[in-house]
Amino acid sequence: QAFRNWSLVLLIMLNLPLALIGGVFALALAGETLNVSSMIGMVALFGVATRNSLLLISRYQHLMQAQPQLSLAEVAVKGACDRLVPILLTAFTAALAVTPLIFGDPTGKEMERPLAIVLLGGMLSSTVLNLVVIPTLFRWLASRWPGRFIPPAA
């Protein structure tokens, strides 16, 4: 029910370009090319980035329903703080898992290395930007069009 609003869906999906920026930048920095392996990494990255945005927006809506006295700024900050540890744990776990593929012996890792580079770079950018850009945009958009972002009272 909460995500039948296209404005919320677009805000959730906004994290995809943020993840893409980090993945493509990391590929360029590592001197790798965009290939099937790196695109598989993008698909995995987009799944995690979308999940993080979805849970963040869901937390905002829950806070607005449970604590209607909070201002939009307080909801944005509290929601981001509440989701900080799970988002960071997801990013650090993914980074830890792919680090040996990136920095280890490259022999035999020609297919896995681009995937790992995309995941690491995209998780870094997506995590940072998800905790800064999404709360800021949510607050700004919800203040402009409250009917689209603030859920009805339960």
Contact residues for 124 (Cβ-Cβ < 8 A; gap 6+): 22, 26, 91, 95
Q: In tens digits, what is the pLDDT along the chain, a chain of 154 residues?
A: 455 678 888 888 888 998 999 999 999 999 999 999 999 999 999 999 999 999 999 899 899 889 989 999 999 999 999 999 999 999 899 889 999 998 888 788 888 999 999 999 999 999 988 899 999 998 998 888 777 766 666 5
Report residue 139 as tokens. 């607050």
Give CA 44 to chain center in angstroms. 12
- pTM for this one? 0.84
**pLDDT score, position 120:** 94
Domains and CATH numbers, the chain: 6-149 (1.20.1640.10)
**pLDDT score, position 154:** 54
* Residues recorded for the chain: 154
Tokens 């869906």 found at: 9
Tokens 């290395």 found at: 113
What is the biggest distance separating any 2 CA atoms in the chain, rounded to whole angstroms? 58
Q: If 0-12 CB within 10 Å is exposed, 13-18 middle and 19+ buried, where does residue 135 land?
A: buried
**pLDDT score, position 123:** 93
Report residue 121 as tokens. 């770079």
User: Minimal CA–CA distance to 13: which of 44, 51, 60?
Assistant: 51
DSSP 30: H
> Do residues 96 and 123 lie in contact, with contact meaning Cβ atoms separated by under 8 Å?
no
**pLDDT score, position 153:** 62
**pLDDT score, position 3:** 58
**pLDDT score, position 12:** 86
User: Minimal CA–CA distance to 146: which of 8, 14, 13, 52?
Assistant: 8
H/E run at residue 61: helix 36-66
**pLDDT score, position 80:** 93
